[in-house]
Chain A
Amino acid sequence: MITTGLTPVITEHWDAPDLYTLDGYRRFGGYEALASALKQDPDAIIGQVKDSGLRGRGGAGFPTGLKWSFVPQNDGKQHYLVVNADESEPGACKDIPIMMADPHVLVEGVIIASYAIRANHAFIYIRGEVPNAIRKVAFAVEQAKAAGLIGKNILGSGFDLDVVVHSGAGAYICGEETALLDSLEGYRGQPRLKPPFPAVAGLYASPTVINNVETIANIPFIIGRGVEWFRQFGTEKSPGFKVWAVSGHVNNPGLFEAPLGITMRELLDYAGGVRGGGEVKFWLPGGSSVPMLTAEHLDLPLTYEAMAEAGTMLGTGTPMIFDSTVSVVKAVTRWLEFYKHESCGKCTPCREGTYWITGVLEKFEHGHGTATEMDTLVNLCGQIAGRSFCALGDAAATPYPAALKFFRQEFTDATHTPVDGTFDPVASYVFAPAVAR
Chain B
Amino acid sequence: MMFDFHMVVCVKIVPKPEEVRVDRESRRLDRANARSEINPPDMNALELALDLKDRTGGRISLLSMGPPFFEMYLRVGLAMGADHVYLLSDRAFGGADTLATTYVLAQSIRKIEDVDLVLCGEESSDGATGQVPAGLAEWLDLPQITLVNRVDLNLEDGLVRARRSLPGGHEIVTAPLPALLAVKTAANEPRFMDFRRRPWAMADGRVTIWDRKALAADPALCGSPGSPTAVSGLEQARVRERKRLFLQGEVDELAAQLAAILEANRS
A binds B: no
Could you tell me which B residues sit within 8 Å of A by CB distance?
none
Could you tell me which A residues sit within 8 Å of B by CB distance?
none
